Chains A and B, each alone.
Chain A
Amino acid sequence: MASLKLIGARPSPYVNRVQFALNLKSLDYEFLVEKFGTKSELLLKSNPVHKKIPVLIHDDKPICESLIIVEYIDEIWTSGPPLLPSDPYDRALARFWAAYIDDKWAPLLRELRTAQEEEEKKRVLDQMFQVLIQLEGAYRQCSKGKAFFGGDNVGYLDIALGGFLGWMKVAEKLIGVRLLDEAKTPALVGWAERFCSHDALKDAVPTAEELLEFAQKHFMAKPPTPN
């Protein structure tokens, strides 16, 4: 029996991506939780180059980088539903938009978190909405009218963006702005609801409560006043 271990932590969107893939393939794994602010010996040994989570350890072999891990899972476990499309062009589209998400979306989220002034926050938010509008277009193109970016089933691109859903929901509580807005990106709003209520995924999307607690503990100078 293959032994699977995942080094990670639930607040990480990149770790969530791997959890989604493992769940979709109905794979059992041991979750080795990394404490924020420290790096375990196993992590340093398994990912000496980047020293980052997630790391999937399959039969003692470490695989690093969330999307590379997702692809690896898809290639090894072929009995479950495929995560990447079968057509090379559709695969290229999925990879293109996943790269776009990592290139444009992730850095903006970080900028938003560290933005001090209202003007800076507004500038970053404007850019984020632009990115979401692009992703709305990508969703329409890739889904071809179906429920997910991957079509009828959740796929690679759903997973790539889905990792950020927990934090996107919390953003509304943290900064008072709804990122997924019916008025701006209606198709993505519907997609997010379907993703978060999917049987295999709903427990892997971190809750607003746990992320708020995490944010308060690690990212904020003082706790916000309760409403």
Chain B
Amino acid sequence: MGEVKLHGFWASPFSHRVIWALKLKGVEYEYMEEDLSNKSQLLLQYNPAHKKIPVLVHRNKPVAESLVILEYIEETWPENPLLPLDACDRAMARFWINFGEQKGPVFFNLFRTTGEAQEKTGEEVAQILKTIEEKALGDNNFFGGNTLGLVDLSFGWLPHWFEVTEQVQGTKLLDPTTLPRLHAWAQNFKQVPVIRDNLPDPQKLSAHLKRLRGNLLKN
């Protein structure tokens, strides 16, 4: 015990990616909640380059960046694999994980704008979601096939966080009529026991996001 520690933040989807991966692999860990307005000395020491959560500490060695942590977990605890075995399929999985990362700023833009600017960004987001549905997910239950993997975890902010964010920011882009397969995947994902049991309280999250959006719009 104490061999694996995770520094995280209750509202962060990046933090949750790591929690889900650890739980899917059955890895015991100690969770340290960070106050982002008052980051711990340990966190600053473990991740001086970015000063961000999540940071996984294994045998006293820190790993930062959620996607780097996911690959580390996959390699260190190979039981219940979350990446395909075939190199070409792995490259494809990494491609979609990277796609999500690249498009992150567009979703953030949606969150911190209103009116016409938000509408315009909304069109871009709609295109991105369509690409994810048609090219990444297709007719599969999960990204890449029939079992949950790292790609699903990396898009894991869509089901719970984006749904709450849409209520806060007044959009309705992840819609069952326009994106039936992606919407179905989102509902499916949230019902996987490890995911279902490790999601932030929606009301608390909503209040937190309202506050964040309020601050961003003021500036």
Specify which chain B residues have a CB less than 8 angstroms from the CB of A68 in the assembled complex.
Answer: 91, 94-95, 98
Does A100 make an interface contact (CB < 8 A)? yes
* B75 A88 Cβ-Cβ under 8 A: yes
Task: Pick the interface stretch among A91-99, A116-124, A198-206.
Answer: A91-99
B188 close to chain A: CB less than 8 A: no
Verify if A187 is at the interface (C-beta below 8 Å from B): no
Chain A residues within 8 Å of B58, by CB: 89
Chain A min CB distance to B150 (Å): 13
Cβ-based interface call for B87 (8 A): yes
* Residues 103 to 130 of chain B near chain A (Cβ within 8 Å): none
Of the stretches B6-14, B59-67, B158-166, B198-206, the one at the interface is: B59-67
Of A48, A71, A92, chain B has the most CB atoms within 10 Å of the CB of A92
Minimal beta-carbon separation of B30 from chain A (angstroms): 19
| Contact of B219 with A by CB under 8 A | no
Q: With the chains together, A165 CA to B29 CA distance in Å?
A: 41
Max chain A C-beta neighbours (<10 A), residue from B64, B67, B90, B95: B95
A64 to B67, CA, bound (A): 18
Instruction: Give A54-95 interface residues, CB cut-off 8 Å to B.
Output: 58, 61, 63-65, 68-69, 71-72, 75-76, 88-89, 91-92, 95
Q: CB distance A96 to B63 under 8 Å? A: yes
Q: Is the CB of A100 within 8 A of B49?
A: yes
Q: Tell me whether A40 is interfacial, beta carbon within 8 Å.
A: no
Cβ contact within 8 Å between B63 and A89: yes
B182 interface hit (Cβ, 8 Å): no
Contact between A96 and B65, CB atoms less than 8 A apart: yes
Whether A92 and B72, one on each chain, are in contact in the complex, defined by CB atoms closer than 8 angstroms, is yes
Whether A49 sits at the interface, judged by CB under 8 Å, is yes
A91 in contact with B71 given A49-B99, A64-B95, A68-B94 (CB within 8 Å): yes
User: Is B211 engaged at the interface, CB distance under 8 Å to the other chain?
Assistant: no
Q: In the bound complex, do residue A65 and residue B95 qualify as a contact, i.e. CB atoms below 8 Å apart?
A: yes
Tell me if B131 counts as interface (CB < 8 A to partner A): yes
Contacts of B23 in A (CB 8 A): none
In the complex, which of the residues B68, B75, B91, B135 contacts A96, with contact meaning CB atoms closer than 8 Å? B68
B69 lies within 8 A of chain A by Cβ? yes
Are B94 and A65 in contact, with the CB atoms below 8 A? yes
Within the complex, the shortest CB–CB distance from B63 to chain A, in Å, comes to: 5
Q: What are 28 residue pairs bridging A and B, where the CB atoms are less than 8 Å apart in the complex?
A: A49-B131, A61-B88, A68-B91, A68-B94, A69-B91, A71-B90, A72-B87, A72-B88, A72-B91, A75-B90, A76-B87, A88-B72, A89-B61, A89-B63, A89-B72, A91-B71, A92-B63, A92-B68, A92-B69, A92-B71, A92-B72, A96-B63, A96-B64, A96-B68, A99-B65, A99-B67, A99-B68, A134-B49
List 7 extra interface pairs beyond A61-B88, A68-B98, A96-B65, CB under 8 A.
A63-B88, A63-B91, A64-B95, A65-B98, A69-B91, A75-B90, A96-B63
